[in-house]
Amino acid sequence: MPDFSHLNEDGEVRMVDVGEKGVTRRIATAEGCVLMREETLRMITEGNFQKGNVLEVARIAGIQAAKQTFSLIPLCHQLPLDGIGLDFSFPSAGQIVVRSSVSTSARTGVEMEALTAVSITCLTIYDMCKSADKGMQISGIRLLTKSGGRSGEWNAAESHS
């Protein structure tokens, strides 16, 4: 059986004991994409949704989600988050790329917090805009980088797995 940290030697689920690990500065970045009709993106950027400012509501939802990751994903530890950043870019017509960066000084990393922030931000964009564009697609949610801890630096651009 592969070495999965959330399984004990009998294959039973467990929460990893991080008590012996050292506290280090940890940062993770993640991204995801929402694809939509060009008109939908134009409505977002011009502020034409009755529910409010789509991107700012989505940003708040992503920040809240990162802080609640431990309650959403059963085996995640509750972490004292030092910072949560969410940014939006528009690389092509009808595309919003969401990028999160989460940091902590703790015994375990913040990869799940960064991924959760991106996921909920993308879902909130969908929720805010679904009346205008039910065909939106959320894709490409992935970890981009992580630093800190025993495994050190990791970068998706340099990874073959």
Residue-wise pLDDT tens digits, 61-119: 999 999 999 999 998 999 999 999 999 999 999 999 999 999 999 999 999 999 999 99
pTM: 0.90
Q: Which two tokens stand for residue 86?
A: 């969410």
- For residue 108, which of 8, 3, 4, 21 has the smallest C-alpha distance? 21
**CA-based radius of gyration for the chain:** 18
What is the rounded average pLDDT of the residues 18-34?
91
Identify whether 9 is part of a domain.
no
Bigger pLDDT: 20 vs 60: 60
Q: According to the model, what pLDDT value does residue 161 have?
A: 54
Strand order in the sheet with 137-147: 81-89, 95-106, 24-35, 137-147, 154-155
Going through the chain in order, the beta strands assigned E by DSSP cover 24-35, 81-89, 95-106, 137-147, 154-155
In a domain, 87, yes or no: yes
Share of the chain above pLDDT 70, in %: 95
Specify the pLDDT at position 13. 75
Task: Flag whether 158 is in a domain.
Answer: no
* Number of folded domains that form the chain: 1
Model pLDDT, residue 122: 98
From CA 95, how far away is CA 44, in angstroms rounded? 11
Does residue 18 belong to any structural domain of this protein? Answer: no
Q: Would residue 127 show up in a list of annotated catalytic residues for this protein?
A: yes
Within-domain flag for 7: no
CB 66 within 8 A of CB 116: yes
Q: Which domain holds residue 126?
A: 24-152
Is 31 a domain residue?
Answer: yes
Catalytically annotated residue among 3, 82, 87, 127: 127
Q: What is the mean pLDDT of the chain?
A: 92
Looking up residue 44, the CATH number of its domain turns out to be: 3.30.70.640
Domain-located, residue 58? yes
Would residue 128 count as lying in a domain?
yes
